[in-house]
A and B are shown apart, each in its own frame.
Chain A
Amino acid sequence: MNRRLLTLPLIILLFFLSGCSSGSFNIFNPYTGSNGIQISFMRGLPPDIAYSGTPYNVGFKIVNYGALDADNAYLVVGTDDFGGASISNPKYTFSLKGKKSVHFFRGETKYKLFNAKAPNIGSRKEASVNVNYLLCYPYETKAQLSICITPNPNIYSNERSGCRYTPSVQVSPQGAPVDVVEVDETPFPAENSNEVKIRFKITIKNLGDGFVVSRSNYKGVCDGNIKFQDFGKVDVSAYLSGKPLTCFPASVTLSPRSNQPNTAVFSCVSDPMPIGTSHVSLLDIDLKYGYFLSGNKNIVVYSLS
């Protein structure tokens, strides 16, 4: 009787444990979605209506929906410059943990308030004033793919293999605004006739709401000091089974004005490997960049009289 009573909980426990690997749960995957940091005005902050020359608050809700942490993110708030309108301490530097760190379907959330003053509109009955912001942060995309490697120029050989070769793989977003969207694999003969190299053609795309800048000068947009070459720049690297691939170019540009807007392609080539049968390997792709977002809100300012 007691054995029967114990069997049922053990079976249920086995169900749960079957979802875990290496002793940890595998239900939650932070590397999903195409968002990084999202920022929005807090409701009523700034208010829709303010009065001439009076103080008001500007509040932001900042959430990291990305997989990884964002360190040294930089927020600059501005307002129209007339009638003494101002924002106190308009620059704010902060860090936000990503989904991977907090182990939740969204990362860390921060709320930030700024003190502002409505313009003095003099004899006018009403006026409108704009509050705008720029958020700049460095970010990284880590894409890890289990991919069927076929180290054989004759990819359709009848030799039995461990997996099925697929020349092109569509990839879902990896929990960052810039994501790997497609990987093409092509084996080709190496110098040594017994060896082959694998070329990966990797397509990345900006799927977020903002714009890409170089990681080395990600603050430039928010500070008004940036070079044309910094826009859209993404540093790329890739590893096959932990071994680094040779990628060209080492950095690509995502431009909204190109033929395929916000999309870039680069190639990575493996070291020579012996001709063999197909097998599954891990392809890690690492993208490093800066990202910026902007927004604004209009406030109607009424005269106090």
Chain B
Amino acid sequence: MVGEEFLKGALNAAEHKEEKEKNTAPQPATPQQEDWDLGKWVKNKIVPAHQQAATQPSTPPPRKNFIVEGLGSYGSATKNIISILLMIGSVVGLFFFVIFHNWFLLSIAVVVAIVVFKTARSGSFVKFVSLLFILSLLAYTLFLVGSPVFGYVLHPENTPSPYTQGGVNTYLSRGASTYNSKFAKFIKNSQEYIQTQMKCASGNCPIGESDGPHVGMMLSEPQLMYSHKLVVGQPLDFSSTLEGVNLDIYPNVIVYPYCSVEGKKSYGNSSFNVSPSKILMVDLSNGQSVIMCNAVVIPSTYYHNEVAIGVVFNFTTESDLPLVIMNDNYRTSLEKAYGTKFLEPVFKINSSQVAHYNDGPINLGMKVSQSPLATRSNSESAYLIFALNNQWQSLNGAILKINGMNILTPNGIEIEHSDPFCPFVKVSSGNYSLESSFNLTQPVTDVLNFFCPIKVTKVKTNSPIWMPHISVVANYEYSMNNSNTFDVYRIKKKGEGLGYTTGSDDSGSGSSDLDLSGDCSSLTISNNFPPNNYINQLESSPYSSDIRRGIADGVSKYKVDGFSDVQMASLLLGIMVAESGLGSNPKSDWDGDGIPNHIAGCTSCKNGNNNNVYLDIVDAAKTFKFDYEDLCSDYSPYDSQLDCALHAYNNGPNGKDNPEYRSIVKSSMAQWTNYLCKNSGGAVE
């Protein structure tokens, strides 16, 4: 209602006349009654007043809601959206005008605002906002135009502002100019920064040339001293070789080796025994050092575990960029005479000066956006762009942390800390330091770049061409590593339950084996156990640990809906009995190596899992789950879904039924359930 009252006051005469005409006009078809047509709508709205009177409704529609009515007085929701979009467009136009002082955009914004104002229904929200907007534009324009005039009256001694185009600054206009200048500069810097980022992303970050010899360091893949399959409690010993080339030029750099499992440098409750604990880079020069890691295998969450050997060291890279600077008039004259790229033809100086850095893990490239640089006004900035390019990325190298970084500039050149793309603070004349609050959110594996506005305040030279150097010194923590895998598993002692360790954490405590006993409470248990030869196959055969792991993973990954863990384990054991006598059937060992080729049938034949008991069982679980849940979701004509799935598992969905097979599996499954739940506490005896 505020808007309505405001309109009544502000637009009294015009509104009153319009309302009067509307009230006397014959009622046309309302827009709501017609299909929406933008052209027709606009035409209707911009017809002359005398024609408009004839097309307006005789009585205004009842006003239900301030906003809804305002937006909806001309019809459908589409119209409302168009009005809102027009308003948004106007605001965006004003926004760009404020930033870029583009009178064309301002004109469009004004026209759109007027159209919206004229077409909006009196008292509507849209009309109120559009009026407000027009008044704002008017005020802003008056402010821009008027301030120089008043400024001239008040302070004729002031110099013209670049933003008032020959006008005279006042306090206000200076403020506006400063604000606009900073804001526009920020936007410009942002655009430049984004462009730089895009260039960096496409591999066009500044790249330096290394001075001195090329250095290198390489870490070999960790070699496990024993087997890749380790049991809990076994020694976990592994080693890598660290080699270096020309590292003697950095005699003071110390390399600290470390060992890790699954990315953690601690292993269980203790850390690794790492030998040696530190290496001097000079000792690696054109030679090598063996890094040894010793620990004891602890229960692991994962079957496959990654061990890694890495090194960490602090390194300093210093880069140096020659600049070409001349006074502004000199540069302008040369540009006019010979074009902007005059440096090379006239002075034989390469305009694309390249930074030189000391070789190491980082290539510190630098460049400036203008060459030559010159003393310029505040509104024209040049940029120093520098990038820390990771040279040892392929060796799993990364910058972990920036310990410190400084930009060193000669007297007469300043870094402007005006935006977030240049997080450097001035610590002394010509020395700018990385803000202490700067932190890497993640290790830098590719490139880290900065973008700093640079300003030449004076040219200090006897020669017309001043060639000072600007330096960036970065000290950082760098890491590189190499990895290998080993498998952790353990054979449960009797009474520990079935399966290998899963779900444990690195501490080794709280391991949560498959809690099969917990499933037994709802089952009817009897003393009908599997034959001893099958129990022996499970408990003490050469591949019993593989059977347990296979069952454990098969159950955890592919347990069938509605089955308990015990039932699923029993089913898999039953299938193995039916297929291969749980591996005891000599026919199941095709190649006679003592390991059944396919302990759970030929389900995994296509996967080539010969002699891989573990994968055979996991595959069996996966296949059975598919048979049970997908193929046999409608299990008719079988007595049960289990029968259907066992038929499908044994013969395929269209094969000949084999009731005997199903019977063996089902009876064996019952026996194994009794066995696994024998003590009702779940422990296997």
Contacts and interface: CB of A to CB of B under 8 A. Distances in A.
15 contacts: A78-B465, A80-B469, A123-B318, A124-B212, A124-B318, A126-B212, A127-B320, A132-B467, A134-B465, A224-B327, A224-B330, A225-B330, A231-B334, A255-B337, A294-B348
B463 A226 contact: no
A202 interface: no
Contacts of B318: 123-124
A78 B324 CA distance: 12
A81 B467 contact: yes
Contacts of B465: 78, 132, 134, 224
A223 B459 CA distance: 13
Contact of A81 (B211, B349, B410): B410
Contacts of A78: 461-463, 465-467
A212 B332 CA distance: 17
Given A78-B465, A82-B468, A126-B212, 9 more contacts: A81-B410, A82-B410, A125-B212, A128-B211, A132-B349, A228-B332, A230-B333, A294-B348, A295-B348
Nearest to B322: A80
- Interface of chain B, helix or strand or loop or mixed? mixed
Contacts of B327: 224
B339 interface: yes
Contacts of B358: 124-125
A247 interface: no
A261 B465 CA distance: 25
A228 B462 contact: no
A231 B467 contact: no
Interface of A: 76-83, 87, 90-91, 123-128, 130, 132, 134, 211, 221-228, 230-232, 255-257, 294-296
Contact of B333 (A87, A130, A231): A231
Contacts of B320: 82, 124, 127
Nearest 9 pairs of A and B residues by beta carbon: A224-B464, A78-B463, A231-B337, A82-B469, A125-B212, A228-B336, A81-B468, A228-B333, A80-B467
Contacts, number: 105
Contacts of B326: 224
Contacts of A130: 322, 349, 467
A87 B461 CA distance: 11
B239 to A, nearest CB: 33
A226 B330 contact: yes
A295 B349 CA distance: 8
B346 interface: yes
A128 B347 contact: no
Interface in B169-221: 211-213
A230 B347 CA distance: 17
Nearest to A130: B467
Nearest to B345: A256
Interface string B467-478: 111010000000
B338 interface: yes
Contacts of B211: 124-128
Contacts of A127: 211, 320, 356
Contacts of B212: 124-126
Given A82-B410, A124-B211, A126-B211, A76 B330 contact: no
